[in-house]
Amino acid sequence: MRKSKEMSWILRGALALTFALAAFAGTGAIAHDVTKDGLKIVHPWSRATPGGVEVGVGYLKIENKGAEADRLTGGTTPIAKMLQVHQMTMTDGVMKMRHLKDGLEIPAGKTVELKPGGNHLMLMGLKQPIVKGEPFKAVLHFEKAGDVEVTFKVEAIGAPSSSDDAMEDHQHDHGDH
Ligand SMILES: [Cu+2]
């Protein structure tokens, strides 16, 4: 009798754990693509920052399915003082970044990718560290489409890439970039 009662508690425990894991997996895979006025913002992601660092990065893909070009001019986020669009260029082996004050063109029918080693969003004056696994919100400003609210998924410090698919999430903690 006593033994079967124990068994039933173990089963209940296992069942509760299964549900908890299912719920966790549900929130872990962030389906956070946003579409507005023909612009599709695909998988915004960022990297965790070491303590004391005041800048962070943001990457995403923008698909312009509309008939007109638009421009990504910048944005805002509660976690930093500024969110700017930066261009990355390589001149004689020296990497330089430049604030694109007039924004980045998103041509009609084209996909523009902001990615490591290329154009990116720069968060300046971080008010708090960016923490792996803790998404943050931001509003992107487009010349024509206006404000678009997005959520950035946060990968490890130095992560070279990111994926929406939890099964393909590998650990990249070696910090080279
Ligand atoms: Cu930058």
Least confident stretch, 7-11, 37-41, 101-105: 7-11
Distance (angstroms) between ligand 1 centre and the Cα of 121 equals 7
Sequence ranges of the domains in the chain: 1-30, 34-159
Distance (angstroms) between ligand 1 centre and the Cα of 97 equals 5
Sign of the torsion formed by the C-alpha atoms of 168, 126, 176 and 59: positive
Average pLDDT on 49-63 reads 95
Distance (angstroms) between ligand 1 centre and the Cα of 142 equals 19
Name, in order, each residue with C-beta under 8 angstroms of 88's C-beta and a sequence gap of 6 or more: 95, 96, 97, 117, 118, 119, 120
Percent of all residues in the chain with a pLDDT value above 90, rounded to a whole number: 64
What pLDDT score does 175 carry?
Answer: 42
What pLDDT score does 118 carry?
Answer: 93
What pLDDT score does 32 carry?
Answer: 82
Dihedral angle, C-alpha 33, 146, 71, 155, nearest 10 °: -30
Q: Is the pLDDT at 2 greater than 60, yes or no? A: no
Tokens representing 119 are: 């154009």
Average pLDDT along the chain = 84
Is residue 23 very low, low, confident or very high in pLDDT (cuts 50, 70, 90)?
A: very low
What pLDDT score does 8 carry?
Answer: 65
Residues 119 and 88 sit within 8 Å (Cβ to Cβ): yes
Distance (angstroms) between ligand 1 centre and the Cα of 21 equals 37
Average pLDDT on 161-170 reads 61
d(CA 72, CA 145): 9
Residues 32 and 150 sit within 8 Å (Cβ to Cβ): yes
Q: Is the pLDDT at 128 greater than 70, yes or no? A: yes
Task: Give the CATH fold of the 34-159 domain.
Answer: Immunoglobulin-like (2.60.40)
The model's pTM is: 0.75
